Amino acid sequence: MIESTEFVIARQPFTVRRTVRWVDCDPAGVAYTGRYTDYLIGAVMHFYAHIGWGPESENGGNGGLACKHMSLTFHKSLPPGSIVDMRIQVGEIRGRTFDLHVEAFLPDGQLAFEGVFSPICIAPDERRSLSLPQALREVLGAHQRAGAGGVHA
């Protein structure tokens, strides 16, 4: 029996390991397309916890992080029991948004899927956008990938 389907295995680069469950799969024996979104968001939530931001952190009062954009590209089908390591790196940091680039690798090094998750900083009670707090910019910078385009106002 699998004790956990998702857990952090590295902090730099930040990496979450996920095991595909039978219930994630269609009758053909491969993960449903919609499950990849769950995998991506699950990894992002682990990253938020790691940097001390997001829905369950004390920094939540400085602005929430709502999804503004998300995209996925599929490279391999994932049958039950597949293990993928999702590596998250920060891409471009803008005035109110930033990009999280996720690459999911199989144990043999093949790219299974990749995605981009772009949150926008918001005032949770008002649902209006806010500038990214400096403290968030700094912690994101520590995880920024090479050639990410830097930080923009």
Mean predicted confidence (pLDDT) in 141-146: 90
User: What pLDDT band is residue 151 in, cutting at 50, 70 and 90?
Assistant: low
User: Taking the CB of residue 42, how many other CB atoms lie within 10 A of it?
Assistant: 15
Residues 6+ apart with CB under 8 A from 88: 13, 14, 15, 16, 43, 44, 47, 100, 101, 102, 143
Q: Can you give the pLDDT at residue 56? A: 63
Q: Rounded distance, CA 149 to CA 65, Å?
A: 21
Domains defined for the chain, CATH in brackets: 6-141 (3.10.129.10)
State what percent of residues in the chain have pLDDT above 90.
80
* Segment 7-52, tens digit of pLDDT: 999 999 999 999 999 999 999 999 999 999 999 999 999 999 999 9
Mean predicted confidence (pLDDT) in 64-82: 96
Q: Are 14 and 143 in contact (CB under 8 A)?
A: yes
The mean-pLDDT minimum among 22-26, 90-94, 134-138, 149-153 falls in 149-153
- pTM of the predicted model, to two decimals? 0.90
Q: Can you give the pLDDT at residue 153? A: 47
